[in-house]
Chains A and B, each alone.
Chain A
Amino acid sequence: MDVLIFMVSGTLAAATALIFAAMGELVAEKSGMLNLGIEGMMATGAAMGFVAATVSGSYTVGFLAAAVLGALLSAVFAVLTLVFRANQTASGLAIGILGLGLSSAIGKKFESMTLPGVPDLPLGPLAQIPVIGPMFFQLDVMVYLSIVLVFATWYMLNRTRLGLTIRAVGESPENAHALGLPVLWIRAGCVAFGGAMAGIGGAYMSTAYTPLWAEGMIAGRGWIVVALTVFGTWMVPRVAFGAYLFGSISLLELSIQALGVNVPSQLMSALPYLVTIFMLALISRNTLFIRLNSPASLGATFRL
Chain B
Amino acid sequence: MARLALEPRETNSIIAPIQVAALALVMTLIGGAVLFAIYGVSPLRGLHAVFVEPLLTTYGIGEVLLKMAPLLLIAQGLAIGFRAQVWNIGAEGQLILGAIAASALAIWFDGTGSPLLLPAMIVAGMLAGMAWAGIAAFLRTQFNANEILVTFMLTSVALQLLYYLVTGPMKDPMGFNFPQSISFGQSALFPTIIDGTRANASLYLGLVATAVAVIFVRYSFASYKLSVGGLAPGAAFYAGFSSKRAIWIALLVSGGAAGLAGVGEVAGPLGQLQRNISPGYGYAGIIVAVLGGLNPIGILFASAIMALVYVGGDFALLSVGVPDAVTGILQGILLISYLACSLLLTMRLRLVREAPV
Interface residues of B in 36-55 (CB under 8 A from A): none
- In the complex, A288→B143 CA distance in Å? 12
- In the complex, A80→B290 CA distance in Å? 15
Decide if A267 touches B160 in the complex (CB within 8 Å). yes
Given A80-B336, A285-B144: A90 and B290 within 8 A (CB)?
A: yes
Interface string of A68-105 (1 = CB under 8 A from B): 00000000100110001111011101110111111011
- In the complex, A284→B140 CA distance in Å? 9
Decide if B325 touches A101 in the complex (CB within 8 Å). yes
Decide if B149 touches A276 in the complex (CB within 8 Å). yes
Q: For the complex formed, measure the closest distance between the CB of A129 and the CB atoms of chain B, giving whole angstroms.
A: 40
Decide if A269 touches B160 in the complex (CB within 8 Å). yes
Decide if A89 touches B152 in the complex (CB within 8 Å). no
**Closest residue of B by beta carbon distance from A86:** B339
Decide if A277 touches B145 in the complex (CB within 8 Å). yes
B150 at the binding interface (Cβ < 8 Å):
yes
Interface residues, chain A, with chain B CB atoms under 8 Å away: 36, 76, 79-80, 84-87, 89-91, 93-95, 97-102, 104-105, 108, 219-220, 223, 226-227, 230, 264, 266-267, 269-270, 273-274, 276-277, 280-282, 284-285, 287, 290
Decide if B335 touches A94 in the complex (CB within 8 Å). yes
- In the complex, A267→B325 CA distance in Å? 30
B89 at the binding interface (Cβ < 8 Å):
yes
- In the complex, A290→B287 CA distance in Å? 30
B231 at the binding interface (Cβ < 8 Å):
no
**Closest residue of B by beta carbon distance from A227:** B149
- In the complex, A94→B87 CA distance in Å? 13
Q: For the complex formed, measure the closest distance between the CB of A275 and the CB atoms of chain B, giving whole angstroms.
A: 9
B181 at the binding interface (Cβ < 8 Å):
no
Which chain A residues lie closer than 8 Å to B216 at the CB level?
A: none
Which chain A residues lie closer than 8 Å to B148 at the CB level?
A: 36, 89
Which chain B residues lie closer than 8 Å to A86 at the CB level?
A: 339-340, 342-343
**Closest residue of B by beta carbon distance from A79:** B340
Which chain A residues lie closer than 8 Å to B204 at the CB level?
A: none
Given A84-B343, A285-B143: A104 and B325 within 8 A (CB)?
A: yes
- In the complex, A266→B166 CA distance in Å? 11
Instruction: Pick 30 A–B contacts, CB within 8 A, sort by A.
Output: A84-B339, A84-B341, A94-B287, A94-B336, A95-B336, A97-B283, A97-B331, A98-B329, A98-B335, A101-B328, A101-B330, A104-B325, A105-B325, A105-B326, A105-B329, A108-B325, A219-B156, A220-B153, A223-B153, A227-B149, A266-B161, A270-B161, A276-B153, A277-B145, A277-B154, A280-B143, A280-B146, A281-B139, A284-B144, A284-B145
Which chain B residues lie closer than 8 Å to A87 at the CB level?
A: 339
Decide if B145 touches A281 in the complex (CB within 8 Å). yes
Which chain B residues lie closer than 8 Å to A269 at the CB level?
A: 160, 163
B164 at the binding interface (Cβ < 8 Å):
yes
- In the complex, A11→B68 CA distance in Å? 44
7 tightest Cβ-Cβ pairs between the two chains A and B: A101-B328, A98-B332, A105-B325, A101-B329, A104-B325, A86-B339, A281-B143
Decide if B153 touches A97 in the complex (CB within 8 Å). no
- Of A86, A94, A290, chain B has the most CB atoms within 10 Å of the CB of A94
- Of B89, B164, B325, chain A has the most CB atoms within 10 Å of the CB of B325
- In the complex, A80→B164 CA distance in Å? 40
Decide if B154 touches A264 in the complex (CB within 8 Å). no
Decide if B153 touches A84 in the complex (CB within 8 Å). no
Decide if A76 touches B336 in the complex (CB within 8 Å). yes
- Of A86, A91, A95, A219, chain B has the most CB atoms within 10 Å of the CB of A86
Task: Select which of B145, B329, B339 is within 8 A of A90 by beta carbon.
Answer: B339
Task: Select which of B139, B153, B339 is within 8 A of A80 by beta carbon.
Answer: B339
Task: Select which of A84, A223, A270, A284 is within 8 A of B157 by beta carbon.
Answer: A270
Decide if B339 touches A97 in the complex (CB within 8 Å). no
Which chain B residues lie closer than 8 Å to A76 at the CB level?
A: 336
Interface residues of B in 264-299 (CB under 8 A from A): 283, 286-287, 290
- In the complex, A264→B168 CA distance in Å? 10
- In the complex, A120→B160 CA distance in Å? 33
**Closest residue of B by beta carbon distance from A81:** B339
Which chain B residues lie closer than 8 Å to A281 at the CB level?
A: 139, 143, 145, 150
B323 at the binding interface (Cβ < 8 Å):
yes
Decide if A101 touches B331 in the complex (CB within 8 Å). yes
Decide if A220 touches B329 in the complex (CB within 8 Å). no
Interface residues of B in 217-272 (CB under 8 A from A): none
- Of B139, B283, B330, B336, chain A has the most CB atoms within 10 Å of the CB of B336
Q: For the complex formed, measure the closest distance between the CB of B109 and the CB atoms of chain A, giving whole angstroms.
A: 26
- In the complex, A89→B87 CA distance in Å? 8
Decide if A230 touches B146 in the complex (CB within 8 Å). yes
